[in-house]
Structure 1
């Protein structure tokens, strides 16, 4: 509600643009935005469940394999070109993920569903160019909220009274969810989905470090080797960009 109030003019422009769409364009706009919101909601809800009920490393592994799925989908579905270096990097990622699976084969289904839902979300948003990214984000967040309502209806829910709860919830929602998601959607306007996908590896690397050093979860030497291979693949995949930055 706060975002809608602050960006009222932007929302009005988006609504005016929507009214001028043809019937086919209206169906496509609604379809892509609702699909994105549904995939995002499923991804968030499952991720929260895995982090709280399974373990952090499973959630980390999900985003470890997510960029591979995203990159593969972008090359197959979006017909994006891939260089030999990128193909080698993707193969190296597959090897790393396979090693990780050997070290911890449990809970693979959870990890795969999290990865698949976010990969499909990224691919779908590459096609979703009907509105500005702020409006798109608002529509998708509303969709996520609607999907969450049945949970609170079926379960007895009491609003927390502790102010600290709302403080940390606001910080997490703004700085670790909404802003990164908006930047991600904005990047998809001018960056190949495969590149955005491969950069998601930063997320599981940080999560993996937190699971080991903060949550004190056990670690296998194959997992360490897997992350080393993933780090090398990131460098190989983005070698041209890194060379340009170096110059």
Structure 2
């Protein structure tokens, strides 16, 4: 299957993000803005170094491609990339704030709401088509989220904010084509760093001195930011944003498990049922690809006999 590599990239990215709380919770005593500042600045410095040391030719090619575009195409590219940076920065701040000051479950719910918002935005804005089976999957996801919101309406409120910002990022980057994905991601993060830089002196706390803080920040920057975001952009070049959005459910299901088994947050039977419904929704949404893989496996087994 031509799309299998894109599915693998998405599954890898969202599995990694599912374990994000393991490195974020140890530094929950630090202000959300401080974590955001150091995360963005660290990512930007690392990615700029990689670009100028190892990807100068790619950077030059990207600039040449941009210069060759018509005026309207240049305007579109600028808006898509500035918008992508704004959506990403907004998502990061709200996620960190909710993770450290509301609950892990609320961030988990956010990435259950996000696939629904992504699918709906992709349908109305990008005119991506959905089969009847996929609409059934969306309905199942909505029912699961409604069950979860019944348990805690404030969690749902914060979750919609987080989910909407990332849904907007996914949809905007689906049409942001023609440029190297690493260069695009470097632009998004560096622009976010430049926007945040003037606010750092006034809104940052004391400079952290603990080794634990910097170890967690660098782990977040490399393993939980640069790598999965690059995989995410790569995935969007091969499969539509509604499919990517539904695969995003992998992230909160892992986070939900951590909230229960690692952080011992109170989990009700209603929440377990809701997550079970959403898990089924993911399988239903991607059933066409799963059946195609199964068929390919059967055919290859027969050929090998």
Normalised-by-shorter TM-score class: over 0.9
Q: Which residue of 2 aligns with 1:177?
A: 225
197, 208, 228: which one pairs with 2:276? 228
Where does structure 1 lack aligned partners over 5 or more consecutive residues? none
229, 236, 242: which one pairs with 2:290? 242
Please tell me whether residue 59 in structure 1 is matched to residue 107 in structure 2: yes
| Runs of 4 or more consecutive aligned structure 1 residues displaced over 4 Å after TM superposition | none
Number of equivalences: 247
17, 29, 49: which one pairs with 1:2? 49
Shift of 1:156: 4.5
Q: Assess, with a 3 A threshold, how the Cα gap between structure 1 residues 195 and 67 changes in structure 2: closer, same or farther.
A: same
Moved more, 141-150 or 215-224: 141-150
Whole-angstrom distance in 2 between the partners of 1:151 and 1:21? 34
Q: Secondary structure at the match of 2:153?
A: coil
Q: Which residue of 1 aligns with 2:147?
A: 99
Q: Assess, with a 3 A threshold, how the Cα gap between structure 1 residues 130 and 153 changes in structure 2: closer, same or farther.
A: farther
Whole-angstrom distance in 1 between the partners of 2:180 and 2:49? 18
Q: Does the CA contact (< 8 Å) of 1:39 and 1:121 recur in 2?
A: yes
Shift of 1:108: 2.6
Q: Assess, with a 3 A threshold, how the Cα gap between structure 1 residues 51 and 151 changes in structure 2: closer, same or farther.
A: farther
Please tell me whether residue 196 in structure 1 is matched to residue 253 in structure 2: no
Q: Assess, with a 3 A threshold, how the Cα gap between structure 1 residues 147 and 216 changes in structure 2: closer, same or farther.
A: farther
Q: Assess, with a 3 A threshold, how the Cα gap between structure 1 residues 151 and 218 changes in structure 2: closer, same or farther.
A: farther
With the length of structure 1 as denominator, give the TM-score of the two structures. 0.95
Q: Which residue of 1 aligns with 2:9?
A: none
CA-to-partner distance for each residue in 1:34-59, whole Å, 9 max, x for gaps? 00000000000110011011111111
Alignment of structure 1 residues 1-247 onto 2, 5 Å: 1-5=48-52, 6-247=54-295
Shift of 1:23: 2.2
Whole-angstrom distance in 2 between the partners of 1:123 and 1:132? 18
Whole-angstrom distance in 2 between the partners of 1:75 and 1:105? 27
Q: Does the CA contact (< 8 Å) of 2:104 and 2:259 recur in 1?
A: yes
Where does structure 2 lack aligned partners over 5 or more consecutive residues? 1-47, 296-305
Q: Assess, with a 3 A threshold, how the Cα gap between structure 1 residues 156 and 173 changes in structure 2: closer, same or farther.
A: closer
Q: Does the CA contact (< 8 Å) of 1:29 and 1:130 recur in 2?
A: no
Q: Assess, with a 3 A threshold, how the Cα gap between structure 1 residues 156 and 188 changes in structure 2: closer, same or farther.
A: closer
Whole-angstrom distance in 1 between the partners of 2:165 and 2:140? 22
Whole-angstrom distance in 2 between the partners of 1:19 and 1:159? 41
Q: Secondary structure at the match of 2:51?
A: helix
Whole-angstrom distance in 2 between the partners of 1:210 and 1:146? 34
Moved more, 90-99 or 17-26: 17-26
Shift of 1:164: 4.0
